[in-house]
Structure 1
Amino acid sequence: MVVHTERVAWDGASAIVAALDSAALYPWLHGEVSGLLGVAAGDALRDSFRMLHGPQADRPFVETAKWRARLDEVVRAEPQVAGRISVLVTQVNARIAPIGLR
């Protein structure tokens, strides 16, 4: 199977940042990201959540770029994680659709 790392990274980053708009989804997402990518990624997610709920309006673009780079690096190093990231994207999209995020 060919993995399009850039697409997986972009979809993952977009979904993660969209979900961070909801304080209600954050605890679930934190658990999923920490379980999938490790404690350091969970810490980074916490930092992104704090930044997105701060005063800077352009922050979603910055945080999406950071997560895209982080996920791209993970998928390039461990291609088998791509499928799990794609599953996470599907789960995130299913959770944010009913609350109107994105």
Structure 2
Amino acid sequence: MSESASEAETTARAVPGATPPSEPGPEHEPAAPAPLDLPRTPTGDAEIDARLARLADADHLPTDGHVEVYEDVHQGLRDALTALDARPGPPAPPPSHQHRS
């Protein structure tokens, strides 16, 4: 063996059937996100159901894209609740005053 032989070559020659270590390959791509396929029970309100259906968009995004979807859905649900507060409701009953003698 020559002194210029690499350690891997030396190992390959010294051990029959041994192969030199391979060079590191290209970066391994992570697996595509797997949809959670969680069931969503309809609420009966088309606006709310559409916002909840938007959660399925996160199934096709990498994890760092989930935040945008969740924030969008959260804001939409908050807006829907705020709109409920703005609707005029039935008038409040007059206060009852009980006088005790």
Common topology (TM > 0.5): no
When you count helix as a share of all residues, which structure comes out higher?
A: 1
Q: Which has the larger radius of gyration?
A: 2
The TM-score normalised by the length of structure 2 is 0.39
Higher relative contact order, chain-length normalized (CA < 8 Å, sep 6+): 1
